[in-house]
């Protein structure tokens, strides 16, 4: 995974600071407990591209989760409303727990994702499924990959990870949802290594068509959403 050079990040920095400034104090306090903590994925992607943010995912090692929960309640009035041992619709072997916190005066929940083995920001975002999600914010610096930049420029979701059929199905459902509203018209690129999963995926014939009209994907195949 290649990271964009810091010299090219200044336009992104201003955008992130304005979009995520409300959560800078929360992230800073969590980093006092777990220095590796960072915001990554959808919130950073949406903030950078001027889309509505649905939730804030903060990744950290799982050891400090109870201290973080107590701090969020006492200092920021965020109350835990759920905790799961499974990340979204599939099990990620490195996720120990996911806790959701809601604030009385905030519409956007904060999700604290405790990792069994704390990862650096770069290693963590390198695990994400789509290139457009491979971005993070540490409270001071954005960390963006060339995969992210490529997807932004081409208006596509390029699949980079699919460990199993359940994870692939989750990614396809998420792409379907995002391309129906916030990312309407964005295409889906599926590398050949995931071809067997595309063939077996039930949603494909209902939601996507190949650019050249073929039934099965080719190398670097681009799937575009059908009209709904």
Q: What is the pLDDT of residues 22-40, one digit of tens each?
A: 899 999 999 999 999 999 9
- Given this model, what pLDDT does residue 190 score? 83
The larger pLDDT score, comparing residue 217 to residue 189, is at 189
Give the alpha-carbon dihedral of 69, 75, 77, 79, to 10 degrees: 10
The distance from CA 15 to its chain's CA centroid, rounded to whole angstroms, is: 18
Q: Is the pLDDT of residue 155 over 70?
A: yes
pLDDT-based confidence at 99, cuts 50/70/90? Answer: very high
- Given this model, what pLDDT does residue 83 score? 78
Q: Where do the H-state alpha helices sit in 23-164?
A: 24-33, 42-48, 65-76, 121-125, 146-154
β-bridge pairing 135-137 and 38-40: antiparallel
Q: Is the pLDDT of residue 112 over 90?
A: yes
The CA–CA distances, whole Å, from 183 to 142, 152, 188 equal 21, 11, 11
Q: What is d(CA 77, CA 80) in angstroms, rounded to the nearest whole number?
A: 10
Average pLDDT rounded to a whole number, residues 36-46: 94
pLDDT-based confidence at 218, cuts 50/70/90? Answer: very low
Pick from 102, 4, 105: nearest CA to 55: 102
pTM of this structure: 0.84
Residue-averaged pLDDT of the chain: 82
- Given this model, what pLDDT does residue 42 score? 93
Decide if 143 contacts 136 (C-beta within 8 A): yes
- Given this model, what pLDDT does residue 89 score? 52
The larger pLDDT score, comparing residue 58 to residue 89, is at 58
Largest Cα–Cα separation, the chain = 57
pLDDT-based confidence at 216, cuts 50/70/90? Answer: very low
Average pLDDT rounded to a whole number, residues 139-151: 89
Q: What is d(CA 43, CA 219) in angstroms, rounded to the nearest whole number?
A: 31
**Greatest mean pLDDT range, 12-21, 66-75, 158-167, 168-177:** 66-75
Pick from 30, 26, 36, 38: nearest CA to 142: 38
Q: Is the pLDDT of residue 102 over 70?
A: yes
- Given this model, what pLDDT does residue 77 score? 94
Give tens-digit pLDDT for 127-140.
Answer: 999 999 999 999 87
The CA–CA distances, whole Å, from 108 to 23, 33, 101, 138 equal 10, 22, 9, 19
């Amino acid at each position: 995974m290649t990271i964009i050079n810091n010299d090219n990040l200044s336009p992104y920095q201003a955008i992130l600071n304005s979009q995520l400034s409300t959560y800078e104090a929360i992230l800073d306090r969590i980093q006092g407990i777990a220095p590796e903590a960072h915001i990554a994925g959808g919130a950073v992607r949406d903030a950078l591209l001027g889309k509505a943010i649905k939730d804030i995912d903060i990744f950290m090692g799982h050891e400090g989760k109870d201290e973080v929960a107590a701090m969020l309640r006492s200092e920021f009035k965020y109350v835990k409303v759920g905790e799961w041992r499974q990340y979204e619709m599939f099990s990620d072997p490195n996720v120990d727990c996911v806790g959701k916190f809601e604030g009385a005066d905030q519409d956007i929940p904060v999700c604290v994702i405790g990792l069994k083995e704390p990862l650096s920001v770069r290693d963590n975002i390198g695990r994400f499924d789509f290139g457009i999600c491979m971005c993070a914010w540490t409270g001071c610096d954005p960390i963006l990959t060339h995969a992210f930049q490529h997807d932004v420029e081409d208006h596509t979701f390029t699949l980079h990870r699919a460990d199993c059929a359940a994870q692939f199905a989750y990614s396809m459902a998420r792409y379907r949802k995002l391309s129906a509203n916030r990312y309407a018209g964005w295409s889906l690129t599926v590398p050949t290594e995931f071809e067997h999963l595309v063939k077996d995926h039930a949603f494909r014939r209902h939601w996507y068509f190949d650019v050249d009209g073929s039934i099965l994907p080719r190398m670097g195949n681009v799937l575009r959403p059908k009209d709904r």
